[in-house]
């Protein structure tokens, strides 16, 4: 019997260096249970680069570093902006990093200011005020330059704002440093008003000190969690068909801590909001590393209930994303008209938006706050206008957009491809470098015309195009021959260009090989009329190449400094969209997303594409909810705090990971009809983000079918095929489910899915389940319900899988037929076990029979290789009577099946390692317990299991590997559980059924979970 169950809670940031963000040659190692020590013993002296970890973007935080060893050029430690890529230089030598150098300098932007040097064993202190952007450095309790964080005076640096990473450059080989953010020693030196980073407190339901070999080693968990009530956690999800229009939510619960002796009084001084909390459950005497994660949360607030108790109110870790989408603001120039208003944001492939006019003089219209977005269609009064004559890409420093080359006649809308990620294919030509020129041409480029005195390309701090207005078109091509050979842009791919040029006169044109090469359907796809940076995206409809030209008719004089080209991937599929929203734009880190797990599998099962446009700020969590709603799905944060996604699916044929029946359900099992109030047979997609009024369309458009699209809210509405069950007839014709899907086929898939899911009546099942406290069982038998598959072997029997209803009501039961009178046939499987004295129990379900004719069913469990041992069970399947094996076998009534158990104990002889289970359909004639080879017959079987111990646990389905039954606290929304009770029978279900879990409300100390499941 395991010891007492213990709930252990870590409060605070883990603060450790990930393996993926280390300086070259730097090695991280454990300190106080976390990867907080960085050393570098190779790579020379000095060496640039830095190790970093995602840290904070708000608050007043205090932190200490212990300078373990100063060697050679020492150590730079400090912060770098999260948005700043790791530079090939030392920390502090960029505009976005600030550091203290142990040789006695503080550094920012490469500028050094002398302070006190450190020696091995010193503590370097750091305080950061996220509100004022003040950063203080100090050493051994003395802040540099009379700094006073507590009173906000004399910061070492100011203007340090936004999301920061902690970073360290081990500049001198042999140096080492350790982050020391933890607990009491840090609390003692923390300035008033600041909160120590790291683990602030460790509390538990029963006090214990961790073992020296544990992780973290030798720390104390204060047993102050009040025991007069079992703390609860909640994980639930909701779906658009139940809650259409509601926002995202995520309660978790609260925990009361006893504070009679005032040991936790320090909490009142600290900013605990959003402090991460990790809750683990284990057993007394276990190592902490063996504890299982039960929940991850953030502190919403800490309340002093009275002078003896403190209450921690916990929030879902996703609460960090209850913040507006961080949309950029327009700066003063060149956005003269829109200064300090939010820039628009585009995700995915959308049409149409009405971009704001930011620069009336130059007719500029930004469409996206980032630079990497592309316009592929512009309409004026609903009429498509021609690129390079009616419009071109805008020249902005802070946004992507268009420039109208003619004055708009009326309503101006654009179709846009939104944010993208850069791909591997990249070209970067820097024409400002003299060494990059061969003669008077940039290396690798050729001219598409004959140079003369008035029309030429020369090196002049860049590629200077001169054209007198009468000569040929001045064209520069990559490679040789007409259009050259590079860059070759692939068909169906998507690219970004960035050109920096100075325009003295005329205009720079970017051309592709003929109409139809790009989705802009133009030879000239971009026109640059003023100096600056031109950025644009294009999708190639054919293999093509790009060239730069100056229009001969206009003439002119311009210089191209750089020309960059990337192949990019549009952010429109679920993994990229969630990363963009939650990590790039939100407050989560990449590790907080279950990218490789549920997000990837949902995306693989339904590779939908999403699109979104905002010209004002939206809350990220609401947006994630809208994304999930679009696929009839949901998101939640799992017990480790990772954001996971799931979808409404028919659980009937899914693998159940837990089994509930009379033995482990407490109280009633309640059934409620799913009324699906948000259900509709119509699904709308391809949203029109800027519908036109009839008066805003030109007459030429009004007569075309496009007019309808331009005026519609959604360009696509699809209806599923088939019929809803009677309960859902009211959903027919209801207002369509509105999605962010941008592909017609995806919209159709959702409509079809809803018709399939609700073609039968659906119910919510509400019940409380319990898992036994004992360690979970493992089913050693492989292919536990697929007897035709290896490693099952047939000895004189015929096996047919999936031909009969299982105890769960699915066609997953098999028949095993013995049709020979010569031998006693069986289906058998062997397993390798240790030659010790472990006991094993085999169990299998066999269908009940009637009529007094069925042959005797048997199972035999034996261990051989040394001194063999075995045990048998022989059962009358009509009555369940155990004909042989009373000492070591049992028969349990399992509704339409018997569950037959047999146990055997190994005898410890050498090499007794082959465990074999035989399933025998006809061991003897009806009613006989004496084996007879002559008996012939068929048995219907399901759910074989072999486990250690002398009892059979609830059945665990296996396929290619032994499987372990889950603990109650591992149950998560989207898990499928099997329920088989008398009540499910009463509800008209033959035996039991698989259900999709949508809510799990568990208690930490007991192992009960209140569940709501759907199916």
Partner 1 sequence: MAGAYFVFKDVVKDSVPSFAHVGTGSSTVVATLPQANLLDRRVAKVCRVNYSGYNTTSEMRHTFTLASSGTVAAVAFVGWNALGLTRPPFQFRVRDSIASPTIDTGWVTESWDAAASQAMTVLFLAGGNNTIASTLICSVRPHTAAGVPGTGTLDIGRVFAGSAIILPNGVKEDWQVTVADSSRVLRSRGQNLYAENLPRYRVGNYRAQAVDQYVAHNDPVSFLAMGYEAGVSGEVLVVPRTSYYGYVQQLGIYGRLAKAPTIQHVGGGYYDVDATVEEGL
Distance CA 902, CA 887 (A): 9
Distance CA 751, CA 728 (A): 14
From candidates 20, 212, 596, 705, binder to partner 1 by CB under 8 A: 212
Distance CA 859, CA 923 (A): 9
Question: Per-residue x/- marks for partner 1, 167-206, CB under 8 A?
Answer: --------------------------------------xx
Count the neighbouring beta carbons within 10 Å of the beta carbon of residue 519.
18
Residue 7: which of 298, 207, 211 has the closest Cα? 207
Distance CA 192, CA 512 (A): 63
Q: Give residues 318-337 in contact with partner 1 (rule: CB under 8 A).
A: none
What is residue 353's three-state secondary structure? strand
Tokens linked to 813: 């039961």
Strand partners, 208: 221
Rule CB under 8 A: is residue 228 a binding residue for partner 1? yes
Strand partners, 770: 1008
Assess contact for 949 and 861: CB atoms under 8 A. no
From candidates 208, 636, 787, 792, binder to partner 1 by CB under 8 A: 208
Rule CB under 8 A: is residue 66 a binding residue for partner 1? no
Question: Per-residue x/- marks for partner 1, 645-674, CB under 8 A?
Answer: ----------------xxxxxxx-------
Closest approach of partner 1 to the CB of residue 224, in Å: 9
Rule CB under 8 A: is residue 305 a binding residue for partner 1? no
From candidates 111, 114, 142, 209, binder to partner 1 by CB under 8 A: 209
Closest approach of partner 1 to the CB of residue 427, in Å: 55
Stretch of residues binding partner 1 (CB under 8 A), selected from 93-101, 795-803, 834-842, 998-1006: 998-1006
Rule CB under 8 A: is residue 877 a binding residue for partner 1? no
Distances (CA, A) of 981 to 483, 785, 868, 1009: 75, 21, 39, 17
Closest approach of partner 1 to the CB of residue 1006, in Å: 4
Distance CA 645, CA 624 (A): 10
Query: Is the Cβ of residue 84 or residue 772 nearer to partner 1 in the bound state?
Result: 772
Question: Per-residue x/- marks for partner 1, 73-102, CB under 8 A?
Answer: ------------------------------
Query: Is the Cβ of residue 212 or residue 708 nearer to partner 1 in the bound state?
Result: 212
What is residue 319's three-state secondary structure? helix
Query: Is the Cβ of residue 210 or residue 717 nearer to partner 1 in the bound state?
Result: 210
Residues 6+ apart with CB under 8 A from 324: 617, 618, 619, 620
Rule CB under 8 A: is residue 261 a binding residue for partner 1? yes
Rule CB under 8 A: is residue 770 a binding residue for partner 1? yes
Instruction: Return the half-sphere exposure (C-beta side, CA atoms, 13 A cut-off) of residue 623.
Output: 28
From candidates 489, 1008, 1011, 1013, binder to partner 1 by CB under 8 A: 1008
How many degrees, rounded to 5, is the angle at CA 807 between CA 803 and CA 813? 20
Closest approach of partner 1 to the CB of residue 32, in Å: 7
Rule CB under 8 A: is residue 887 a binding residue for partner 1? no
Rule CB under 8 A: is residue 981 a binding residue for partner 1? yes
Tokens linked to 861: 């469990």
Rule CB under 8 A: is residue 219 a binding residue for partner 1? yes
Assess contact for 954 and 782: CB atoms under 8 A. no
Distance CA 555, CA 802 (A): 79
What is residue 304's three-state secondary structure? strand
Distance CA 699, CA 367 (A): 26
Assess contact for 637 and 296: CB atoms under 8 A. yes
Closest approach of partner 1 to the CB of residue 153, in Å: 33
Query: Is the Cβ of residue 19 or residue 982 nearer to partner 1 in the bound state?
Result: 982
Closest approach of partner 1 to the CB of residue 841, in Å: 18
Assess contact for 996 and 632: CB atoms under 8 A. no
Stretch of residues binding partner 1 (CB under 8 A), selected from 207-215, 375-383, 391-399, 932-940: 207-215
Query: Is the Cβ of residue 63 or residue 715 nearer to partner 1 in the bound state?
Result: 63
Query: Is the Cβ of residue 292 or residue 491 nearer to partner 1 in the bound state?
Result: 292
Query: Is the Cβ of residue 211 or residue 931 nearer to partner 1 in the bound state?
Result: 211
Which residue is it, tokens 């665990």? Answer: 956
From candidates 51, 354, 716, 1007, binder to partner 1 by CB under 8 A: 1007
Rule CB under 8 A: is residue 980 a binding residue for partner 1? no
Q: What are phi and psi of 823, to 5 degrees?
A: -135, 165
From candidates 19, 29, 131, 218, binder to partner 1 by CB under 8 A: 218
Count the neighbouring beta carbons within 10 Å of the beta carbon of residue 934.
12
Distance CA 288, CA 217 (A): 9
Query: Is the Cβ of residue 477 or residue 661 nearer to partner 1 in the bound state?
Result: 661
Query: Is the Cβ of residue 142 or residue 184 nearer to partner 1 in the bound state?
Result: 184
Distance CA 36, CA 13 (A): 12
Stretch of residues binding partner 1 (CB under 8 A), selected from 83-91, 224-232, 493-501, 820-828: 224-232
Which residue is it, tokens 């129990």? Answer: 841
Assess contact for 429 and 438: CB atoms under 8 A. no
- Type and span of the H or E element at 603: helix 600-605
Rule CB under 8 A: is residue 148 a binding residue for partner 1? no
Closest approach of partner 1 to the CB of residue 285, in Å: 5
Query: Is the Cβ of residue 574 or residue 669 nearer to partner 1 in the bound state?
Result: 669
Question: Per-residue x/- marks for partner 1, 18-57, CB under 8 A?
Answer: --------------x-------------------------
Distance CA 254, CA 299 (A): 9
Closest approach of partner 1 to the CB of residue 166, in Å: 22
Query: Is the Cβ of residue 159 or residue 668 nearer to partner 1 in the bound state?
Result: 668
Distance CA 564, CA 342 (A): 28
Distances (CA, A) of 560 to 414, 426, 526, 550, 563: 28, 18, 14, 11, 7
Rule CB under 8 A: is residue 211 a binding residue for partner 1? yes
Rule CB under 8 A: is residue 104 a binding residue for partner 1? no
Query: Is the Cβ of residue 345 or residue 969 nearer to partner 1 in the bound state?
Result: 969
Query: Is the Cβ of residue 622 or residue 1010 nearer to partner 1 in the bound state?
Result: 1010
Closest approach of partner 1 to the CB of residue 205, in Å: 6
Stretch of residues binding partner 1 (CB under 8 A), selected from 70-78, 348-356, 861-869, 1002-1010: 1002-1010
Rule CB under 8 A: is residue 309 a binding residue for partner 1? no
Query: Is the Cβ of residue 111 or residue 209 nearer to partner 1 in the bound state?
Result: 209
Rule CB under 8 A: is residue 951 a binding residue for partner 1? no
Rule CB under 8 A: is residue 5 a binding residue for partner 1? yes
Assess contact for 134 and 204: CB atoms under 8 A. no
What is the rounded end-to-end Cα distance, in angstroms, of the chain? 36
From candidates 476, 686, 1003, 1012, binder to partner 1 by CB under 8 A: 1003
Stretch of residues binding partner 1 (CB under 8 A), selected from 171-179, 186-194, 220-228, 947-955: 220-228
**Residues in contact with partner 1, total (CB under 8 A)?**
41
Distance CA 681, CA 679 (A): 7
Distance CA 936, CA 291 (A): 52
- Whether residue 668 is preceded by a cis peptide bond, meaning omega within 30 degrees of 0, is no
Which residues in this chain contact partner 1 in the complex, by CB under 8 A?
Answer: 4-5, 32, 205-209, 211-212, 216-220, 222-223, 227-228, 230, 260-261, 284-285, 661-667, 770, 772-773, 981-982, 1003, 1005-1008
């Amino acid at each position: 019997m395991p010891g007492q169950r213990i709930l252990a809670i870590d409060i605070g940031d883990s603060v450790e260096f990930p393996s993926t963000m280390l300086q070259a040659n730097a090695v991280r190692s454990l300190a106080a249970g976390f990867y907080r020590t960085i050393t570098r013993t190779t790579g020379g002296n000095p060496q640039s680069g830095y190790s970093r970890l995602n840290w904070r973007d708000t608050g007043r935080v205090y932190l200490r570093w212990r300078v373990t060893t100063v060697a050679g050029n020492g150590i730079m430690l400090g912060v770098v902006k999260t948005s700043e890529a790791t530079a090939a230089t030392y920390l502090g030598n960029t505009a976005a990093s600030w550091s203290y150098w142990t040789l006695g300098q503080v550094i920012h932007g490469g500028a050094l200011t002398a302070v006190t040097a450190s020696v091995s064993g010193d503590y370097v202190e750091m305080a950061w005020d996220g509100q004022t952007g003040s950063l203080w450095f100090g050493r051994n309790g003395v802040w540099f330059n009379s700094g006073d964080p507590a009173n906000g005076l004399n910061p070492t640096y100011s203007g340090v704002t936004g999301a920061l990473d902690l970073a360290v450059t081990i500049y001198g080989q042999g140096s080492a440093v350790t982050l020391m953010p933890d607990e009491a020693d840090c609390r003692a030196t923390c300035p008033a008003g600041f909160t120590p980073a790291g683990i602030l407190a460790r509390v538990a339901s029963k006090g214990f000190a961790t073992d020296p070999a544990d992780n973290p080693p030798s720390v104390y968990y204060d047993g102050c969690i009040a025991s007069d009530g079992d703390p609860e956690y909640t994980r639930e999800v909701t779906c658009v068909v139940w809650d259409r229009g509601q926002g995202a939510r995520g309660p978790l619960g609260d925990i009361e801590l006893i504070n009679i002796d005032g040991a936790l009084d320090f909490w009142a001084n600290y900013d605990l909001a959003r402090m991460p909390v990790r809750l683990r459950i284990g057993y007394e005497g276990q190592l902490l590393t063996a504890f299982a994660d039960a929940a991850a949360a953030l502190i919403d607030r800490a309340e002093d209930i009275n002078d003896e108790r403190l209450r921690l109110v916990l929030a879902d870790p996703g609460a960090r994303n209850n913040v507006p989408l961080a949309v950029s603001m327009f700066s003063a120039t060149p956005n003269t008209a829109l200064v300090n208003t939010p820039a628009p944001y585009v995700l995915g492939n959308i049409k149409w938006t009405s971009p704001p006019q930011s620069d009336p003089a130059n007719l500029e219209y930004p469409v996206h706050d980032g630079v990497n977005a592309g316009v592929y269609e512009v309409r004026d009064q609903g009429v498509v206008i021609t690129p390079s004559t009616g419009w071109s890409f805008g020249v902005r420093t802070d946004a992507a957009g268009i420039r109208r080359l003619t004055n708009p006649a009326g309503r101006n809308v654009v179709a846009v491809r939104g944010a993208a990620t850069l791909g591997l294919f990249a070209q970067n030509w820097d024409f400002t470098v003299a060494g990059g020129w061969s003669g008077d041409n940039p290396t690798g480029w050729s001219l598409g015309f004959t140079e003369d005195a008035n029309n030429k390309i020369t090196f002049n701090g860049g590629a200077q195009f001169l054209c007198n207005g009468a000569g040929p078109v001045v064209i520069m091509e990559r490679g040789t021959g007409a259009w050259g050979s590079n860059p070759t842009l692939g068909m169906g791919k998507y690219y970004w260009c960035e050109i920096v040029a100075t325009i003295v006169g005329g205009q720079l044109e970017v051309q592709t090989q003929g109409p139809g090469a790009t989705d802009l359907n133009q030879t000239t796809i971009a026109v640059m009329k003023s100096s600056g940076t031109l950025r644009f995206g294009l999708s190639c409809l054919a293999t093509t190449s790009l060239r730069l030209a100056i229009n001969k008719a206009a003439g002119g004089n311009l210089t191209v400094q750089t020309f960059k080209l990337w192949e990019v991937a549009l952010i429109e599929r679920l993994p990229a969209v969630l990363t963009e929203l939650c990590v790039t734009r939100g407050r989560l880190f990449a590790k907080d997303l279950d990218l490789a797990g549920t997000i990837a599998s949902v995306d693989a099962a339904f590779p939908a594409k999403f699109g979104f446009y905002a010209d004002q700020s939206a809350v990220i969590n609401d947006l994630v909810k809208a994304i999930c709603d679009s696929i009839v799905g949901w998101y939640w944060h799992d017990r480790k705090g990772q954001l996971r996604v799931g979808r409404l699916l028919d659980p009937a044929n899914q693998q159940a990971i837990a089994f509930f029946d009379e033995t482990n359900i407490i109280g009633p099992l309640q059934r409620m009809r799913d009324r699906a109030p948000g259900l509709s047979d119509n699904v709308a997609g391809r949203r029109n983000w800027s519908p036109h009024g009839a008066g805003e369309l030109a007459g030429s458009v009004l007569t075309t079918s496009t007019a309808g699209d331009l005026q519609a809210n959604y360009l696509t509405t699809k209806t599923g095929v088939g019929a809803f069950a009677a309960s859902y007839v009211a959903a027919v014709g209801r207002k369509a489910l509105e999605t962010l899907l941008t592909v017609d086929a995806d919209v159709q898939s959702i409509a079809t899915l809803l018709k399939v899911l609700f073609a039968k009546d659906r119910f919510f099942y509400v019940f409380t389940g319990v898992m036994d406290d004992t360690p979970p069982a493992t089913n050693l038998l492989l292919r536990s319900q697929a007897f035709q598959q290896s490693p099952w072997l047939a000895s004189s029997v015929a096996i047919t899988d999936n031909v009969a209803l299982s105890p769960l009501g699915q066609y997953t039961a098999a028949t095993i037929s013995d049709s020979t009178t010569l031998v006693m046939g069986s289906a058998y499987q062997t397993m390798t076990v240790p030659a010790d004295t472990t006991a094993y129990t085999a169990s299998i379900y066999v269908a009940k029979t009637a009529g007094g004719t069925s042959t005797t069913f048997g199972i035999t469990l034996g261990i051989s290789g040394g001194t063999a041992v075995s045990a048998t069970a022989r059962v009358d399947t009509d009555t369940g009577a155990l004909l042989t094996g009373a000492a070591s076998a049992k028969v349990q009534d399992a509704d339409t099946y018997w569950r037959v158990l047999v146990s055997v104990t190994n005898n410890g002889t050498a090499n007794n390692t082959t465990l074999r289970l035989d399933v025998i359909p006809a061991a003897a004639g009806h009613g006989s317990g004496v084996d007879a080879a002559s008996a012939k017959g068929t048995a219907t079987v399901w759910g074989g299991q072999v486990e250690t111990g002398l009892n059979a646990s609830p059945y665990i389905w296996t396929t290619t590997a032994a499987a372990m039954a889950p603990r109650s606290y591992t149950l998560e929304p989207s898990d499928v559980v099997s329920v088989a009770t008398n009540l499910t029978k009463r509800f008209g279900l033959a035996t039991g059924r698989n259900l999709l879990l949508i809510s799990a409300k568990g208690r930490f100390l007991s192992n009960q979970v209140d569940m709501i499941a759907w199916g």
